[in-house]
Structure 1
Amino acid sequence: MSGLAILIPIALGMGGLGLAVFFWAMKNGQFDDLDGAANRVLIDDEEDAL
């Protein structure tokens, strides 16, 4: 039982930290352009081939 008394607050803290990091990333625009990075892979740059 004492193990749960330690692990439950740790799990809740880690979950809260993950949620805080997610909201921080949303605020800073991390997820604004999801299609741009996927399409950049398909662009063929001729000058990079040299």
Structure 2
Amino acid sequence: MRFVLHAGVVLALVAACASSYCGDVRGACYMMLNACFIQLLLIEDQVARK
């Protein structure tokens, strides 16, 4: 499960870079927010396990 979340973060960041490179600023911002949200879920998951 954790690996899937990490893969999601990496994919979202790559997509954000690709979007910004293509000039799609709004899409890039959305992807970055998505990556941050996934990262927050990851942190919550780790805290819950302790």
Question: What letter matches 2:27 in structure 1?
Answer: I
Q: Higher helix proportion, which one?
A: 2
- Name structure 2 gaps, 5 residues minimum: 1-22
- Name structure 1 gaps, 5 residues minimum: 30-50
RMSD over aligned CA atoms reads 1.1
Instruction: Find the counterpart in structure 2 of residue 19 from structure 1.
Output: 40
Question: What letter matches 1:8 in structure 2?
Answer: C
Measure, in 2, the Cα distance between the counterparts of 1:26 and 1:12: 21
Q: Max radius of gyration: which structure? A: 1
Does structure 1 residue 5 correspond to structure 2 residue 36? no
TM-score, structure 2 length as denominator? 0.52
The size of the alignment, in residue pairs, is 28
